[in-house]
Chains A and B, each alone.
Chain A
Amino acid sequence: MSARPQKAAQPEGGLRVLRGRKLRRPAIAPWMIMALVGVTAFLGLVFARTSLDNSAFELAELNRAIAEQVEINGDLNIDIASLENPARIAPLAEEMGLVIPEKTHQILVDLDRNAPQVVQASQEGTQ
């Protein structure tokens, strides 16, 4: 058994300098950035998805509204055509006293003259 050299007496308390070791802080910045990007991407994805869903709902609503308006338009077209039907108008016109004139006036225009000239008038009509 051999004797070991006695350690040098260490000063008690206070600061001491450690040689050969560097102080290393943990590199959290990249992780923070990655986490931030991840969270942002996730939130963005959620937001995009929600927006798309909202848009899809709005689109569906618009399509429904268009279909309704097209339907209304079709009905209106039918109404217009029904109102323009001669079978409806003619009796109404007759009720209002609109009749085919008994006398028709036919005017021949002489293009060599400046003003129209009545060549023949008051020809008996057909009705």
Chain B
Amino acid sequence: MAVVTLRSGINPQRVRLALIGIVLLLAWSVVAWRLVQVQIVMGPEVAERGLQQRLVSNPLPPQRGKIFDRNGDLLAMTVESESLFAVPGQVEEPLWVAQQFGTLLGVDPDVLYERLTSEKDFVYIKRQVDADVADELLALKVRGVYSRPEPTRAYPAGDVASHVVGFVDIDGVGQEGLEIIYENGLRGIPGSELYERDKDNIPIPQGMSNIVPAVPGVDLNTTLDLPLQYQAQQSCLAMVETAQAEACWVVVLEVETGAVLAMTGAPSFDPETRSASDGSPFSNFNVRGIYEPGSTQKLITVAAALETGAVQVGTIFPDIADVLELREGACEFDDDDIHGCYRDFDEHETMDMTVADIFVQSSNVGTINVAEVLGQDRMVEYIHAFGLGAPTGIDFGAEATGMLNFAAGCETCWASGAIGYSVAVSPLQMAAAYAAIGNDGIWTTPHIVSSTVDAQGSTEVAGIETRYVVSPETAALMRELLAGVVERGTGQNGQVDGYRVGGKTGTANKLGEDGRYMEATRASFVGMAPIDDPKVVVAVVIDGPSHEYRTGGASAAPVFAEVMEHALHRLGVTPDGLE
């Protein structure tokens, strides 16, 4: 092959080769430069951008604490469920989806159709659906319909403990009862997870990962006894039906510790659906409601008189009539505007009565005579000492303080206060006052939560405050008087088979909206057993029973007896009332 050589001696093939070489060199140089630029100059920035694309951060919601009764039975727990949602723009047949899903999920199809045809990018179909139901619906593979896991609160005891346990809202935040009182502890501390994911959203093994685990909420161990709680609720429901009453409330306290063994009422509500069958409020009247206690207040009046030495049990008050007129003309006209006329519930002849007779027969006139000897100042002092007019300090929150109406210038308030008018208390306050008598004169803070247990298993025990109210001797005397009420007085329906029981009936007319007393009453009974060494106090309030059941002895005492019997059996208390 001949080699062409220019006249100048330059070989053109070599020139072309050199040019190609130069071009390739330049091209490689550009590539190399870009490589250097990307890998070295922009390296850290690009690496960071890539990492940010791969990194995903998710919050780790904490497990909400559980709530148990005193036997370890579950009252509230959080479980996983599925929330179904839709992207309206992707749903091809919104009418069909609304009808099918609405029917199966119990959602109004019209409302669902409206949601599915809205302009929004995200709408819930239904939140917190059972996982099996959600899987069934997702199996239909409807375009635009998705699900995501979401915790939901379950209350396996249903409405039995709903007034105490309360409930959470759809987002799992406490709204009522222990759920809101212990919200800070129950909800726990959220964690977070940071990890690298691939294009399919799967975590890259050995990739960057930083997990801050969520701290679960504390578990609450309550003092409630679920079977007793159920029995108390059933007794209440039965009496509400029998007596055509508006409501019934029961508190059961352990005398020595102040532990609330049961606290319930009727009507009740379902904490999962957050609805009451009759639309009644969720509030726990036992703690947050107040009522005029009527004759159950006489325990405090007589105990104060005995403790201060103003009277003895056998002190005789002569000529006790069944009517007492403290203001002239008060008893002449049946006019509520003129206060100062006091009558005993049953008419009787004027007679001499001992303090014991007055208490056992629940004489209003006699008790006012005792209060007169005691004096208003000392009576009010003991009313405070027994915990009325102030929150008990129970771990429930928004507790009613009650009302004590002893305004200066009120001529008859002391007399009204002595027999349970002009004062308003909560059922819990009255139960705690009676528990002090049962506990040899020591008043103890009622409490519902016995301990809180965190994830490490460490336990925090609830603090209990105690104080002396009356001497053990006075308390023992009062217990005998209470036994007399049940054995031969107004509270005979409160007797419990096999046990000596003590208690006091109370019947107070309800105040109308116009400030006048109505015919309707609030009937109550507070008592304890066994009377020689009380273990349990039960307070029952029946709101608005029919005329036949208008007294505490007729409506509240039978409920008391049923609940007390079950409480004593549940606690394994030895019978002391065998003849």
Contact = CB atoms under 8 A, between A and B. Distances in A.
Most chain-B CB neighbours within 10 Å: which of A56, A74, A77, A81? A81
Contact of A108 (B158, B497, B578): B578
B73 A106 contact: no
A86 B79 contact: no
A60 B296 CA distance: 65
B498 A106 contact: yes
Given A53-B206, A81-B74, A106-B575, A87 B157 contact: yes
Interface stretch (B226-234, B338-346, B403-411): B226-234
Contacts of A117: none
Contacts of B75: 81
Interface in A63-93: 71, 74-75, 77-78, 80-82, 84-87, 90
B156 A85 contact: yes
A85 B158 contact: yes
A86 B156 contact: no
Which secondary structure characterizes the binding site on chain A? helix
A56 B156 contact: no
B81 to A, nearest CB: 10
B332 interface: no
Contacts of A85: 156-158, 160, 226, 230
A29 to B, nearest CB: 36
Interface in A90-127: 90, 104, 106, 108, 119-120, 123-126
A86 B562 contact: no
A60 B154 CA distance: 28
Interface string B93-108: 0000000000000000
B124 to A, nearest CB: 21
Nearest to A88: B158
A15 B206 CA distance: 66
B169 interface: no
Contacts of A106: 498, 575, 578
Contacts, number: 72
Contacts of B156: 78, 80-82, 84-85
Nearest to B71: A84
B150 interface: no
Contacts of B73: 81, 84
Given A106-B578, A120-B579, A78 B157 contact: no
B77 interface: yes
Nearest to A120: B578
Nearest to A108: B578
A126 B497 contact: yes
A108 B77 CA distance: 43
Interface residues of A, number: 28
Interface string B56-81: 00000000000000000111011110
A71 B80 CA distance: 7
B159 to A, nearest CB: 8
Nearest to B498: A106
Given A71-B79, A78-B154, A126-B496, A60 B160 contact: no
Contact of B230 (A52, A87, A108, A119): A87
Interface string B469-505: 0000000000000000000000000001110000000
A86 B227 contact: yes
A81 B76 CA distance: 9
A85 B497 CA distance: 27
A38 B524 CA distance: 91
Interface in A12-66: 49, 52-53, 56-57, 60
A35 B565 CA distance: 89
B230 A126 contact: no
Contacts of B154: 78
B111 to A, nearest CB: 29
Contact of B79 (A78, A108, A120): A78
A74 B200 CA distance: 30
A59 B565 CA distance: 56
B436 interface: no
A104 B80 contact: no
B498 A74 contact: no
Given A53-B206, A124-B497, 9 more contacts: A56-B206, A60-B203, A74-B77, A80-B156, A85-B160, A87-B159, A106-B578, A120-B578, A125-B497
Interface of B: 73-75, 77-80, 154, 156-160, 203, 205-206, 226-227, 230-231, 234, 496-498, 561-562, 565, 575, 578-579
18 contacts: A49-B206, A53-B205, A53-B206, A56-B205, A81-B156, A85-B160, A86-B231, A87-B159, A87-B160, A90-B230, A104-B497, A119-B578, A120-B578, A120-B579, A124-B497, A126-B561, A126-B562, A126-B565
